[in-house]
Structures are given as C-alpha cells and as structure tokens.
Amino acid sequence: MLKTLDLPALRQLLCAIAAEFELRVPVQPAPGMRLLAPWPVAEIALFGPPLQPKPTAAFFPQTQTLLTLGADASVELPSPPVRPLALFGLARADLQGIAFLDRFFSAPPADDVYQRLRRDALLIGLSGNCGTERKFLPLAGGHCDFELIAQGTGWWGRAHTPRGAHWLRELPAAEGADLTWLNEKSAQLIDEPQQLLARAAKLLVQERVPEEFWREIAARCILCCGCNQVCPTCNCFCVEDQLRGTNVERRRVWDSCQLDAFMREASGHNPLGTEALRTRRRIFHKLVADPQRWGEYGCVACGRCDAACPTGIGIFALCEQLVARYS
C-alpha cells in the first residue's frame, strides 16, 4: 500500500530514523553538487544531480582501514559503527549499485569490513520528480527498505521490506494513488540505456569490434581513473600497509583497471600492457564478464563516468560510437 507524506511529515520521519540510525541525507553545497551529509542538515536537497561521491562510498570508501597489527602480534579490527547507517535519497541506479556491491562483497570469501558497515543499514530510495530541476527519475522498485516517490508537492511512500513497512506504518494511505503510469514511464527510461548497452555487448561477444577501435579510444584516455572512481559497481582496490609507530595499519584504496600497474607483475610483464587492452577490458568486464558471472551488466546506467571523463569517453559515449560503427 502506498503512503503519503508532505515535507513536515518527511522531516518527522527522518528525525525518527535518526534516533536509531546514523542518518545521512542529500545536501547541495553548491549548484550542480549533491552529496550525502550527516543529519541534521539545514536543508535537504530533495532533487538535483546524482549524488557525488557515489553512495556506495558509505560502505566502501576510497580509503578504508582494514586492520591494525600491533608489535605484540595483536590484530585490531576497525570498530563497527555505534549505530547502523541509514542513507536517504538514493536513486534507482544508486540502489542497484549497492545491490551489486552487496553481492560482490558477500560472495565467498565474504568481506567483513564491508559487511560491518552494510549490515543493518537502512536504505531509502528517492524517485519520481527528484532529478535535476525535478526531472523524473525511474522508480526504484526494490533494492531498498522503502522508497519515496516525489510527485506534486509531496511523496508517496512505498515499502519494499518489512523494515521499510515498519517505518511507514503510521503514515496515512495515499488514497487513489496509482503507479501504473509511473511504472510505464520508468520502464521507458530504464529501457533506452539498457538497449544501447545490450547492442554494444552483443557486438563485443560477437568479436566485431576491432583492435583499432580500442586503440583510438585509448589514445584519448588521459588515465585520470575518474571512470572507475565514480562507478558504483567498480569494486577493485589495492592494499597499502603503513608503519605507524610500532603498529602496521593496513588500508585499502580504490584501484583503477585503466592503470598499468593494475595487472603488472613483479617481473614487469603485464598481461594488460597497453592502454588499448585496458580500455577494452574495462568495457568488456562490465558488459560481457559481469553478465556471465552475475547475470547482469556491471553498469547500472548511472551516467557518472560520462560526466567524470575529461575526454568524453565514458561508457555511454563509447558505446554509442561502438554501436554506430560496428552494427
């Protein structure tokens, strides 16, 4: 059943959640920039561009301590959060990104550092008229405890888990609310990028994309790693040990498959020793390898890599060229 909320009711709901969770909500520190900040905030950014940094960073930040080894051979793990996290304002693509990482980090051997932050966290989606200038964003339809669908001056609350239903239980029902049309609109929005990815993936599987294409794209890559840094499904990290006094602190740091040392062996040999091979791999991984392993693309069509790429070769720009040239 759909519930209805206005702004005061939303604030009240978030206050109640904040009493039990470490709540983060979107704020807009500058035009064009929307990020998750700890509650309470002066003003919640209820619509706007995609969250930056990607919300998956709440569980898997760019730099994260894994453990500390003492001189006495003791092992200290980072302390779990006092209260579990609650993230509000997640778009459909953000939630899919979190679901992707959940599956990746819980596949054996499970990653307990990720789980420690992720376990018990409450995810709250935000959909409907909540994009830049209130542009319509597709309904989440799942992957969260509940979602709020922005429409008119308020929101419809839709629970996806019993926990979600619990938080929405006291809100009035949205009389006569009907999601049929919004679902259709969402399906259209979701379908278009999926079609493009599917066409590109097919060409890749059929090996119809020549080396030359990857060389051309790679020649434009300035190795900023931005495409990996912003991608909610990218999960590669490297490990750094630092000697701090008599302790060794082990951290992980987001890695990037565009870098030469990503696969370089100690001998200097590199199975992915050219930029063309690495660029091909990044796209191949997301569009061919991930579907084979997980049954879905490693791209949730969030649009971040296209915005972050300084030379205009994010995944959608690249796939458009690829499809135009080889299909």
**Which of residues 13, 22, 140, 319 is near other proteins by CB under 8 A?**
22
**Which of residues 19, 42, 243, 266 is near other proteins by CB under 8 A?**
243
Which does residue 219 bind out of other proteins, ligand SF4, none, counting CB within 5 to 8 angstroms by kind? other proteins
Residue 226 found at the interface with other proteins (CB under 8 A): yes
Toward ligand SF4, which CB reaches closer, 10 or 227?
227
Rg (CA), the chain: 21
Number of residues that bind ligand SF4 (CB under 6 A): 27
How far apart CA 16 and CA 267 sit, in angstroms, is 57
Run of H or E including 322:
helix 315-326
Q: Are 92 and 100 in contact (CB under 8 A)?
A: no
Residue 98 found at the interface with ligand SF4 (CB under 6 A): no
- Say how far residue 179 (Cα) sits from the centre of its chain: 25
In sequence order, what are the beta bridge partners of 86?
23, 122
**Which of residues 4, 66, 69, 81 is near other proteins by CB under 8 A?**
81
**Which of residues 11, 238, 293, 325 is near other proteins by CB under 8 A?**
238
Angle at 250 between CA 246 and CA 253, to 5 degrees: 145
Restricted to residues 235-274, the positions that interact with ligand SF4 (CB under 6 A) are 258
CB of 47 to ligand SF4, least distance (A): 20
Name the percent of the chain in helix, strand, coil, to the closest 5.
40, 20, 40
DSSP class of residue 173 equals B
**Which of residues 124, 204, 230, 287 is near ligand SF4 by CB under 6 A?**
230
**Which of residues 29, 40, 152, 172 is near other proteins by CB under 8 A?**
29
Residue 179 found at the interface with ligand SF4 (CB under 6 A): no
If you write DSSP's letter for every residue of 131-170 in order, what string do you get?
Answer: SGGG-EE----SSSSEEEEEETTEEEEEESSHHHHHHHTT
Residue 273 found at the interface with other proteins (CB under 8 A): no
Toward other proteins, which CB reaches closer, 173 or 238?
238
Restricted to residues 297-326, the positions that interact with other proteins (CB under 8 A) are 307-312
| Distance (Å) of CA 155 to CA 180, 312, 313 | 16, 36, 36
Restricted to residues 290-319, the positions that interact with ligand SF4 (CB under 6 A) are 299-305, 308-311, 313-315
| Distance (Å) of CA 226 to CA 1, 193, 218, 220, 255 | 41, 21, 14, 14, 11
The pair of three-digit structure tokens given for residue 15, joined into one six-digit string: 């206050």
CB of 161 to other proteins, least distance (A): 24
Toward other proteins, which CB reaches closer, 37 or 190?
37
Q: Are 132 and 49 in contact (CB under 8 A)?
A: yes
Q: Which residues bind other proteins (CB under 8 A)?
A: 22, 24, 29-33, 35-38, 49, 52-53, 57, 61-64, 81-82, 219-220, 222-226, 229, 238, 240, 242-245, 251, 253-256, 259-261, 268, 307-312
Q: Which residues bind ligand SF4 (CB under 6 A)?
A: 221-227, 230-233, 258, 286, 299-305, 308-311, 313-315
